[in-house]
Amino acid sequence: MSTLVRPSLAPAALDAAALAGLVRTVAEHPAQWQQHVRFDAGSRYWHRLATHPGADLWLLTWLPEQGTDLHDHGDATAAFTVVQGELQEIRVRPGGSLVRSTLGAGSVRTVPAGAVHDVANRSSGPAVSIHAYSPSLTSMTFWEPAPDGLRRVSTVSTNEPEVAR
């Protein structure tokens, strides 16, 4: 009896280093994203740049004080880079401590699956960033600080990036 072997049609997921390389490469080619930059004072703006094999690529824009809430990306690993302006990231460390980082143009951050962070524009000017997720984003869980670490607030199904709860 023979066994039929079916190759998987699903593209292989990219790891954090590959995603970081991807956003860095896209950032270096403004012709791929610059025409999609828009700013919306009513809500944050994002635009899907491409579905790269194994990863989703998005352009996000941030006016001053626009941001997300503490969240994770479910099963997706992510990377992002700032291409204009300045963003602040808050990363939750094991044990619940919060670490703030100011990210200028050219900064690249990776976000392991399940890691909790928050991204916001705390500067006085607009900011633009490019994000990649692999596998494609399907859910985000929102968290808030609690005396013993973090408290889960809600989980939303989404294929759009960095939504607020």
Which residues are near Fe ion by CB under 5 A?
162
Closest separation in Å from C-beta 56 to Fe ion = 13
Beta bridge partners of 141: 72, 155
Smallest gap from Cβ 59 to Fe ion, in A, equals 14
Closest separation between CB of residue 130 and Fe ion, Å?
Answer: 13
Pick the closer one to Fe ion by CB: 56 or 162.
Answer: 162
Start-end of H helices in the chain? 16-27
Cα radius of gyration (the chain):
17
Q: Is 31 helix (H, G, I), strand (E, B) or coil?
A: helix
Nearer to Fe ion, 86 or 162 (CB): 162
Nearer to Fe ion, 54 or 67 (CB): 67
Q: How far apart are CA 158 and CA 160, in angstroms?
A: 5
- The minimum distance between CB 11 and Fe ion, in angstroms, equals 22
Write phi, then psi, for 16 (nearest 5 degrees).
-60, -40
Q: Which is nearer to Fe ion, 31 or 81 (CB)?
A: 81
Q: Which two tokens stand for residue 56?
A: 């989703």
By beta carbon distance, the residue nearest Fe ion is 162
Beta carbon nearer to Fe ion, 35 or 138 = 138
Rounded to a whole number of angstroms, the minimum distance from the CB of residue 78 to Fe ion is: 6
Q: What string of DSSP letters covers 107-124?
A: -EEEE-TT--EEEE--SS
